[in-house]
Structure 1
Amino acid sequence: MSEGEMADAAGTMRVGCAGWSFPSAHAAEFGPGDSALQRYSTRFSMVEVNSSFYRQHKPETYVRWALSVPADFRFCVKIPRAISHEHALDATTPLLDAFLYGAERLGERLGVLLLQLPPSTAYDGRVASAFFRALRRRSNAAIACEPRHASWFTAQADAMLAEQGVARVAADPARYPLAGEPGGARDWSYWRWHGRPRMYYSAYEEADLKTLACRYRESAMAGPAWVILDNTAHGHAVGNALRLQALLQHTDRANRCPD
């Protein structure tokens, strides 16, 4: 990585979910543990913490989470909406310091900081670059950004993200053609699949997961790749993530996309 501490080697593929709860229908597919997070970590190597977007967690909570998972497990922590939505990245230093005071307690298990911007936030290079510089001064974690305004999908915005070492999220469904492909820093990639056709609610069909497995594996050849299933509203994320794991193992053995 040009910036941050993405210690994973090229070809590494991490699969996880937005949160670590899982439906009882899949309970038998996880190992034993004293908490849902411990059990979740027996099958997945990363998780996205979305609750940090809505509320401040105590530092000791992050410490407890870090102690609950294996050494090679990684957390992606979502930056609070007070920073991304209410302040639109401008003049957010006190909020950023308060957030990182807790999140950094994950230690080496903090892998990524995720910034998701609202659809109303247009690209402002001055504000965005200042924010990412401030974030980089305070944390060595890798940074992923999911913008949702058309102005972010330009060569200018992409160059700024690349210069700051920020990976632009590859999202599904994609609001714009480029939104479905990784951008910004290209020595690693971060994918977020929200459910299709209904975001957060729909399960992905087998054909969709096969396509993702193919694209995702190809992307991982250029650097480590992380993918999150975010269709959690009806509990489909876990089943889709488990199936994606199996498909990735198949393509790895066959060294080609599945038929």
Structure 2
Amino acid sequence: MLEESTPLIGCAGWSIASAQKASFPLAGSHLERYGAVLPAVEINSSFYRSHRPETYQRWGDSVPENFRFSVKVPRTITHHQRLQNVAPLIEGFVQEVHELGNKLGCLLVQLPPSLRFDPPTVHAFFANLTQQTSAPVVCEARHRSWFMPAANQLLQEFGISQVIADPPVAPCEELFTGAKTVYVRLHGSPEMYHSAYSEEYLSQLENELRQYQAQGKTAWCIFDNTASGAAMPNALSLLARFKRKNAADVKVRA
């Protein structure tokens, strides 16, 4: 069972490579095996295509009670429509993902690098989205205009934090993290989607996640460096750090 002090650590997708199969149970679907070890996952396939409500329900039924899903908002909303005239699309998406029930932990809005911050458009979009769901929402903006006080103020109005991404678009101190959810999304550096993170980096990351938790925030850490299979080893290594610390704390209290 996952300790309450462990962040929501996971990968973008739940595939298990043969190199890591020994870390997971042998029986069950990939998701069932993944969910027996890791506490969270980011559903990326929702970005490319719609899933039936019963599919989300089946996924939710496949994992432990304390497991949480992050679901990426479809590109038809973020990239094709660029947040404009999307009310029916939002409604359909929200109806689908709500079949995850209380295992829906977060909605991820990733924006195209070319999308500038436009206050009226952004206000209308997030007002619509947050009216239709009580799930936390995080935003991964990728144009520098989003990392200014006006954008941070608007996101704060809706209780939304910007994703802390690596590589970053702007310095992390400019990101609004006043919301209750902090979402760290690691794409791999120096080579995006391929590079593994060092143990030194993971040690620093552990400390940062603990600091967010000490502030009373729900901390997510999703590894998206999946192209060369680095995400899963990084996620397992980070999770092991928290488990070792939790076990040591229990021993001290005993």
Would the TM-score normalized by the shorter structure come out above 0.5? Answer: yes
Answering whether residue 168 of structure 2 is matched by residue 174 of structure 1, we say yes
Contact 1:112/1:144 (<8 A) preserved: yes
Residue of structure 2 equivalent to 1:192: 185
User: In the TM superposition, what is the alpha-carbon distance from 1:188 to its structure 2 partner?
Assistant: 2.5
Equivalent positions of 1:101-112 (< 5 A) are 101-112=95-106
Q: Paired residue for 2:82?
A: 88
How far apart are the structure 2 equivalents of 1:173 and 1:181? 14
Deviations 1:188-212 (A, max 9, x none): 2011001111111111111111121
SS at match of 1:183: coil
- Preserved contact between residue 150 and residue 176 of structure 1 (Cα < 8 Å): yes
Kindly provide the amino acid, as one letter, of the partner of residue 231 in structure 1.
N
Q: Deviations over 1:120-146 (max 9, x none)?
A: 011111111111111111111110100
Query: Deviation per CA, 1:165-221, whole angstroms, max 9, x where unpaired?
Result: 11211001112213x775254322011001111111111111111121121211221
* Residue equivalent to 1:116: 110
Pick the aligned partner of 1:203 from 196, 215, 227: 196
Task: Tell me if the contact between 1:165 and 1:184 (Cα under 8 Å) persists in the aligned partners.
Answer: no
Please report the TM-score for the alignment, with normalisation by the length of structure 1.
0.89
Structure 1 partner of 2:213: 220
Q: Say whether residues 1:49 and 2:43 are aligned partners.
A: yes
Find the residue that maps to 2:189 and give its secondary structure.
coil
Shift of 1:26: 0.7
8 Å CA contact 2:8–2:221 kept in 1: the answer is: yes
Cα deviation, 1:84-121, whole Å, max 9, x if unaligned, reads 01111111011111212211111111110100001101
Aligned partner (choices 123, 129, 135) of residue 135 of structure 1: 129
- In 2, the alpha carbon distance for the partners of 1:12 and 1:126 equals 38
Q: In the alignment, is the contact (CA less than 8 A) between 2:194 and 2:225 conserved in 1?
A: yes
The runs of 5 or more residues in structure 1 that have no matched partner are 1-8
User: Which deviations, in whole Å up to 9, do the C-alpha atoms of 1:216-243 show, x marking residues without a partner?
Assistant: 2112211120110000111111100001
Question: What letter is aligned with 1:207?
Answer: E
Letter in 2 for 1:210: S
Partner of 1:145: 139
Query: Identity of aligned pairs, percent?
Result: 44
The counterpart of 2:70, out of the listed 76, 87, 90, is 76
CA deviations on 1:5-37 (whole Å, 9 max, x unpaired) are xxxx99551101100001111111112442000
Q: Which range moves more in the overlay, 211-220 or 40-49? A: 211-220
* One-letter identity of the residue aligned with 2:67: F
Return the alpha-carbon distance in structure 2 between the equivalents of residues 234 and 254 of structure 1.
33
Kindly indicate whether the alpha-carbon contact (under 8 Å) linking 1:15 and 1:226 is maintained by their aligned counterparts in 2: yes
Q: Is this contact kept in 2: 1:193–1:229, CA < 8 A?
A: yes
Instruction: Give the TM-score normalised by structure 2.
Output: 0.91
Give the Cα–Cα distance (whole angstroms) in 2 for the partners of residues 90 and 10 of structure 1. Answer: 39
Which moved further from structure 2: 47-56 or 239-248? 239-248
SS of the residue 2:92 aligns to: helix
- Report if the CA contact (8 A) 1:171-1:181 is conserved: no
Write the distance in 2 (CA, Å) between the matches of 1:245 and 1:131: 35
Which secondary structure does the structure 2 equivalent of 1:199 belong to? coil
Is 1:19 aligned with 2:22?
Answer: no
Q: Which moved more, 1:63-72 or 1:214-223?
A: 214-223
Q: 1:39 aligns with which of 33, 49, 72?
A: 33
Aligned partners of 1:155, 1:254: CA distance in 2, in Å? 42
- For the 8 Å contact 1:12–1:224, the answer to whether it is kept is no
